[in-house]
Amino acid sequence: MIDLRSKKYGVISLGCDKNRVDSEKLLAIIRNNGCTVVNELDEADVVIVNTCAFLNSARKEAIETIIDCASRKEGKLEKLVVTGCLPQKYISEVFPELTEADVFLGINDYDRFFEALASSYNGERVNFVGKGDNSKATDRVISTPCHYAYLKIADGCNNFCTYCLIPKIRGRYVSYPEEQLIKEAEELGDISELILVAQDVTRYGEDLYGRRCLVPLIKKLTALDNIGSVRLLYCYPDAIDDELIAEMRDNPKVIKYIDIPLQHSEDRVLKLMNRKGSRSSYLGLLAKLKESIPGIAVRSTFISGFPTETEEESQAMCSFLREAKLVNCGFFAYSREPDTAAYRLKGQIRQSEKNKRVKRLYAAQAQISREFLSGFKGATIKVLCDGIDYENGCFVGRAYFQAPDIDGKVYFRCPDAVQGKYYDVIIDDCDNYDLFGYTPDYTEE
């Protein structure tokens, strides 16, 4: 019988931070079984690819990664495991076609990982999609820098936006029990910044407790001694209520930052997207947030080139950005995904036109962001050190208005800095995305 504990395991996690949390829970299962996890794939006997399938580009990346990993079977690699969204949604297609992979697991099947792997070593190709229940796992091996971590508080989505596959992949919205999340957060150790994520953070608890319970959860998380601060991502605009705004304003451990995926600004397109907001309601919400929480940083994402979007509506989105003055934004060309309602809409827009509109939106936001960042020149701001930028010969960190990976950074000169610690940084320059500065005790050599 094969000794799976003697094998070395490597994990590739594709897609979003929510996928990262799933990968971290799988890593914990592997470590808790007494196995070795390696960072270099060339050293691994077993490689796991945790996939994303949200967009066609993500599916293409997943398949290319799987095929690339399979080429390592000419060397040390013995088994290739595919997990996550791709097999969860497309197992009937990928199992017969992706013969390079030995094991397939869905989004909640990690508790069956070793059982499936053992079957594979007995000579089978294994499909365990939908056979597990890993939803209650709290153990994780953190893959982010040790001073910040993500906490996925729910899975699935009930919003049914017409462009989105998530409900077809992840199912309906499911909140994780509060006591489970508190335990998971406690077990993370000392964390400077805990980042709450879900497809829709603001609806936490509706399915489980019959009401929104994000604020009670925040109160309990920020009461933990090991949690330095909490950041909120993916807050849907129609569910941001007075209770949440008051908690963000009054709780000193809640970072004055919120990610609100608006997706568009024009009423007709929003209705086609099955989004519940409007241009006026969005501007009203942003004004309320800025009035209630002075200095709050609002980030958002927008889709450009949705079917039937006119040139005038695209231009109107640029004017919305100039009026809204969001701190950070991401822009994406609409991706036509089979099995979504928008796929069937007439008036699909050419890819070249979608790309042009995305480029225009980024240019508009760049001016807004630079104006915002320029306001910090000469000021001293608090920066969380994320580590060293060896290429530029300085330290790198983030201000409160910068989330990991999706926003800009602060590059600063300092005699010495420790990852996970906060530093006062004097800002002396900026570009469209990043700030540059130095600590008061820094002197040029």
Domain encompassing residue 192: 148-374
- Find the mean pLDDT for residues 172-180: 97
Q: Could you tell me whether strands 410-413 and 435-438 are parallel, antiparallel, or unpaired per DSSP bridges?
A: parallel
- Domain termination site, one of 92, 127, 162: 127
pLDDT bracket for residue 135 (50, 70, 90):
confident
pLDDT of residue 65: 97
* Burial classification of residue 386, based on how many CB atoms lie within 10 Å of its CB (0-12 exposed, 13-18 middle, 19 or more buried): buried
Tell me whether strands 394-398 and 435-438 are parallel, antiparallel or unpaired.
unpaired
Q: What's the pLDDT score for residue 137? A: 85
Listed in order, strand segments (DSSP E) in 60-180 are: 79-84, 103-104, 126-127, 148-152, 154-155, 174-175
Give the strand pairing for 380-389 and 422-430.
antiparallel
Both tokens of residue 445? 């050599």
What is the pLDDT at residue 417?
Answer: 96
Instruction: For residue 398, give the CATH number of its domain.
Output: 2.40.50.140
pLDDT band at 2 (very low <50, low <70, confident <90, very high): confident
Question: Both 353 and 209 in a single domain?
Answer: yes
**Residues of the chain above pLDDT 90, percent:** 96
- The separation between the first and the last C-alpha atoms of the chain, rounded to the nearest angstrom, is 63
As given in the structure block, the two tokens for residue 162 are 């017409």
Residues 57 and 154 occupy one common structural domain = no
**Inside any domain, residue 141:** no
Q: How many Å apart are CA 59 and CA 179, to the nearest integer?
A: 35
Distance CA 377, CA 428 (A): 5
Same domain, 223 and 296: yes
Task: Assess if residue 108 is contained within a domain.
Answer: yes
Q: How far, in Å, CA of 406 to CA of 111, rounded?
A: 31
Structure confidence at residue 218 (pLDDT) = 98
Question: Given the structure tokens 């930052």, which residue do they identify?
Answer: 257
For 124, phi and psi rounded to 5 degrees?
-100, 155
Three-state secondary-structure class, residue 431: coil
Decide if 139 is inside a domain: no
327, 342, 374 - which closes a domain: 374
Contact present, 80 and 100 (Cβ < 8 Å):
yes
Residues 175 and 201 in one domain: yes
User: Which residues, 6+ apart, have CB-to-CB distance to 374 below 8 Å?
Assistant: 430
Burial of 412 (0-12, 13-18, 19+ CB in 10 A): buried
Domain end (from 374, 404, 420): 374
CA distance 96 to 245: 50
Q: What is the CATH number of the domain that holds 264?
A: 3.80.30.20
- Over residues 254-260, mean pLDDT: 98
d(CA 296, CA 340): 35
- Residues 44-54 pLDDT 10s: 999 999 999 99
Closest CA to 30 of 113, 118, 133: 113
pLDDT digits (tens, 9 = 90+) for 64-117: 999 999 999 988 999 999 999 999 999 999 999 999 999 999 999 999 999 999
Q: Are 173 and 112 in a shared domain?
A: no
Positive or negative: CA dihedral 141, 146, 151, 156: negative
365 and 394 fall within a common domain: no
**394-405 mean pLDDT:** 97
Domain count, the chain: 3
Predicted pLDDT at 405? 94
DSSP-derived secondary structure for 31-55: HHTTPEE-SSGGG-SEEEEEE--SS
Mean predicted lDDT score pLDDT of the chain: 96
Interval 420-437 mean pLDDT = 97
Which pLDDT tens digit goes with each residue over 315-336?
A: 999 999 999 999 999 999 999 9
Residue 346 and residue 308 in contact, taking contact as beta carbons nearer than 8 Å: yes
**Residue 78 near residue 157, CB atoms below 8 Å:** no
Residues 357, 290: one domain?
yes
Environment class of 350 (CB within 10 Å of its CB; exposed 0-12, middle 13-18, buried 19+): exposed
Residue at 364 is within a domain: yes
pTM of the shown model? 0.96
Question: Does 65 fall in a domain?
Answer: yes
- Please indicate, yes or no, whether residues 248 and 122 belong to a single structural domain of this protein: no
**Residues 156, 63: one domain?**
no
* Confidence check: pLDDT of 43 > 80: yes
CATH at 70: 3.40.50.12160
pLDDT at 445 over 70: no
> Do 316 and 193 share a domain, yes or no?
yes
**Does 409 reside within a domain?**
yes
pLDDT in tens, 367-380: 999 999 999 999 99
Residues in the chain: 445
| Mean pLDDT (whole number) for 108-127 | 95
Task: Using pLDDT thresholds of 50, 70 and 90, give the confidence band for residue 257.
Answer: very high
**Claim to verify: residue 384 and residue 357 sit in the same structural domain:** no
Same domain, 239 and 368: yes
pLDDT at 435 over 70: yes
pLDDT of residue 443: 84
142 part of a folded domain: no
Asked if pLDDT for residue 154 goes beyond 70, the answer is yes
Is 137 inside any structural domain? no
Contact 196, 158 (CB under 8 A): no
